[in-house]
Structure 1
Amino acid sequence: MHTTNQHKTSLGHLRVLDLTRVLAGPWCTQNLADLGAEVIKVERPDQGDDTRSWGPPYLKNQDGNETSEAAYYLAANRGKQAIAIDIATPEGQALIIELVKHSDVLIENFKCGQLKKYGLDYATLSKLKPDLIYCSITGFGQDGPYANRAGYDFIIQGMGGLMSLTGERDGMPGGGPQKAGIAITDLMTGMYATVAILAALTHRDRTGEGQYIDLALLDVQVAMLANMGSNYLTSQSSPQRWGNAHPNIVPYQTFPTADGHIIIAAGNDMQYKKFVTIGERHDLANDPRFATNPLRVQHREILVPLLEVMCKTKTKQAWISALEAAGVPCGPINNLDEVFRDPQVIAREMQIQLDHPIAGSVPLVASPLRLSKTPVQYHQAPPTLGQHTQACLRNILNLSDEEIHALQTKRII
């Protein structure tokens, strides 16, 4: 069991063996690393995590030249130690088994059943370490008719219903299904995996029992439907896409201004009247067709175009300043340059810089977790491929320099 920093962080007493790649698994293990766990990321020698090459953009070194570290990889791998081991070889498998004996958690996202042929499946490893927490992440889970299919976030967003709810309405310009702008199913799977692992660890600490966690992207996407899923189950009617509008509230959508877009969320009649009064359209405030929200929903196709013309008479900031002063819920639609210059984002320190062995330093998005007694600690930047192989084998498995050299010669590490 890992003991470094165990009194300074929430999870400093834990060691996690991370056999995942791409996003869902690494997002989970980055959470655990932020909370203090020692996370050892196992990668293929010479190639490593697929996302190391998913660019551009790539991190630049201190001379301004691009490195082989893609920004995609950097987003999900800080705080980890990186070791390169060929698990397709018997020697590599033996190393992983020895590391498992010294670990609390193993997390992997290989295809269903693939690790069994290497002797690294839960049934095998749990006999060697009964208190092991073993988490598998796949597209469709360990059973069911789709278990052997490869699962990718984009496909799951479609299969799991998200794209039926996202995008402009059919019949409108640009109408049709849309995926989310980030791999939201992967990210949520990583978050669910974090919760499941912490729950399993709590059970282990009470009983001494390890357990197996089976997480599927499709399951997560269906669960993420939340109120929309409940709406369907209650009514047996599939919700339709509404783009940036709301099916039950008007005005509750984006509007173009003189220099960009804003979000208006007028949740009651008084907020609506304040909105159009600020826009100097007193006639819309007093029009009986728009007097109540049900009437505005009924006459949406008449009202919204009038509001769009009105909103173009002022700049984004002029609207926001006036609406905020009047208590009308609103907000900008920021690009990422605006996000990271926002005074609230700056005040919350949502951008960090970590020392990096090649670039000197690397900018990263911070964790949103705020704990008063055991705050998140950023131990190191996302590691380079195999950066800690020798140190981990020497310090955890007590291998000698000669044994490590022999493994290198055979290209096991």
Structure 2
Amino acid sequence: MPAQPLQGVRILDLSRILAGPWCSQQLADLGAEVIKIERPGEGDDTRRWGPPWLSGSQEAAYYLGANRGKQSVTIDMAQPEGQALLHELVKTCDVVLENFKVGGLKKYHLDYDSLKAIKPDLIYCSITGFGQDGPYAHRAGYDFMIQGMGGLMSLTGQPDSEPGGGPVKVGVAFADIFTGMYAANAIMAALLQKARTGEGTHIDLALLDVQVGVLANQALNYLTSGQVPQRLGNAHPNIVPYQAFATADGYMILAVGNDGQFRRFCEVAGCRELADDPRFVSNGKRVENRQLLIPLLVERVRLRSTADWLASLEAVGVPCGPINTLDQVFEDPQVKHRSVEISLPHPEAGEVKLVSNPIRFDGEALNAQSAPPLLGQHTDQVLEQLLQLSPERLAALRDKGVI
């Protein structure tokens, strides 16, 4: 077994969909015990977000992608007895994670103030669309609209002046996933703080804050210059040439990061004179004269095949690569060597293929060892072990629809 740095940490996970579950899957991979609370008979909405479905199971691929390593416990928090069970579970946990709308858990007595009264050193992480305060705090937030509101879609896609121009969202739930990772990072920082001070905290994470926060160089381009960045398709606002080019038989990405790499590219491409041209001699000049340089390179690159370019440029240390489809990604020799695709036993399907956590400690990937759980798979086990509920009590709660 690889190292489990969060072993002994217990998370009560009230979240669903993606941002929260992505956070708790990261914590489970790092060794935390994650108790995923779901509504009896319904569960996380993403269990039904298919097709595709796992063969031999009713689980949607979407759900499988964010719930490895967790224990599923079904409790109806709308019932007072369900709330009482959750209060007892909170006493045994280090962290509560939730992504309900602001104030949505107060009526169930599961908000931060209610639970802090039960466990004063509780770490409580709230994920919302817009945060716990401000004019939009009451609104629901979804990744697609956050990509638009947070500026990402103003940067993604072809320029309006070109065919097919217009805003485009990123092909995965970018804001949700980044928020999940920030949440995991914040929880680990809070655990360190608690170890030092003995105090818990309320972590407030908003999708919109995160989306603006990860605009990175584009945000600073605007704040520094006052000029609003525009969509550049596959080009880079600060580096040239750094974009996709059509080859004789497909496409390749050319990612020239410095002047030496540009000179070596020109030598391979048979246009050494461009590297000495005063208009293109430095990256700053190439950015200024992008509209002059790129058409010249387009004509050169389309003369040779993708494989020819990749081999020739790799040999001289010029960064480049193909644009792979997902079947090509998982057949890539480097991806296969790094065992990015993993398989875990599944109680219905026999096994489930998943994507490995990219973190490695001492050469070992940190992955939880259990598949995404079936709905309510661990209800009896967790309530018996942590709350010492008898089989008779569990049966009575099940008859009432509490669990």
TM-score (norm 1): 0.92
**Residues of 1 paired with 2:311 and 2:364: CA distance?**
38
CA offsets per residue over residues 34-83 of structure 1, 9 Å max, x none?
Answer: 1111100001111111111111111001xxxxx32111111110000001
In structure 2, the partner of 1:121 is: 111
In structure 2, the partner of 1:46 is: 41
CA offsets per residue over residues 216-270 of structure 1, 9 Å max, x none?
Answer: 1111111112222222222222222211112343322100112321111233445
* Helix, strand or coil at the partner of 2:105: helix
Q: 2:26 aligns with which of 17, 31, 46?
A: 31
**Residues of 1 paired with 2:260 and 2:8: CA distance?**
54
* Helix, strand or coil at the partner of 2:192: helix
Report the CA distance between 1:286 and its aligned residue. Answer: 6.9
* Helix, strand or coil at the partner of 1:353: strand
In structure 2, the partner of 1:185 is: 175
In structure 2, the partner of 1:170 is: 160
**Residues of 2 paired with 1:372 and 1:340: CA distance?**
24
* Helix, strand or coil at the partner of 1:68: coil
* Helix, strand or coil at the partner of 1:69: coil
**Residues of 2 paired with 1:8 and 1:316: CA distance?**
41
Q: 1:103 aligns with which of 84, 90, 93?
A: 93
**Residues of 1 paired with 2:147 and 2:322: CA distance?**
26
CA RMSD of aligned residues (A): 2.1
**Residues of 1 paired with 2:284 and 2:216: CA distance?**
25
* Helix, strand or coil at the partner of 1:253: strand
* Helix, strand or coil at the partner of 1:41: strand
Q: 1:243 aligns with which of 205, 210, 233?
A: 233
Q: Indicate conservation of the 8 Å contact 2:47/2:63, yes or no.
A: yes
In structure 2, the partner of 1:253 is: 243
- Report 1:366-385 matches (<5 A): 366-372=356-362, 376-385=366-375
**Residues of 1 paired with 2:197 and 2:267: CA distance?**
64
Report the CA distance between 1:178 and its aligned residue. Answer: 1.5
- 1:278 matches 2:273: no
Instruction: Tell which deviates more after alignment, 352-361 or 309-318.
Output: 309-318
Gaps of 5+ in 1: 62-66
After superposition, the Cα gap between the structure-2 partners of 1:118 and 1:268, relative to the gap in structure 1 and judged at 3 Å, is closer
In structure 1, the partner of 2:207 is: 217
Report the CA distance between 1:306 and its aligned residue. Answer: 3.5
Q: 1:207 aligns with which of 173, 193, 197?
A: 197
* Helix, strand or coil at the partner of 1:58: coil
Q: Indicate conservation of the 8 Å contact 1:351/1:366, yes or no.
A: yes
**Residues of 2 paired with 1:295 and 1:34: CA distance?**
46
**Residues of 1 paired with 2:153 and 2:62: CA distance?**
23
Q: Indicate conservation of the 8 Å contact 1:9/1:375, yes or no.
A: no
- 1:300 matches 2:290: yes
In structure 1, the partner of 2:7 is: 12
* Helix, strand or coil at the partner of 1:201: helix
Report the CA distance between 1:343 and its aligned residue. Answer: 1.6
Q: 1:58 aligns with which of 48, 53, 57?
A: 53
Equivalent AA in structure 2 for residue 60 of structure 1? S
* Helix, strand or coil at the partner of 1:263: strand
Report the CA distance between 1:161 and its aligned residue. Answer: 1.1
In structure 2, the partner of 1:391 is: 381
Equivalent AA in structure 1 for residue 121 of structure 2? D
Q: 2:256 aligns with which of 240, 263, 266?
A: 266
- 1:321 matches 2:311: yes
In structure 1, the partner of 2:61 is: 71
Instruction: Tell which deviates more after alignment, 256-265 or 179-188.
Output: 256-265
**Residues of 1 paired with 2:16 and 2:189: CA distance?**
23
**Residues of 2 paired with 1:338 and 1:373: CA distance?**
25
Q: Indicate conservation of the 8 Å contact 2:357/2:367, yes or no.
A: no
* Helix, strand or coil at the partner of 1:59: coil
Report the CA distance between 1:113 and its aligned residue. Answer: 0.3
Q: Indicate conservation of the 8 Å contact 1:41/1:80, yes or no.
A: yes
Report the CA distance between 1:346 and its aligned residue. Answer: 1.6
* Helix, strand or coil at the partner of 2:387: coil
Instruction: Tell which deviates more after alignment, 165-174 or 71-80.
Output: 165-174
Equivalent AA in structure 1 for residue 8 of structure 2? H
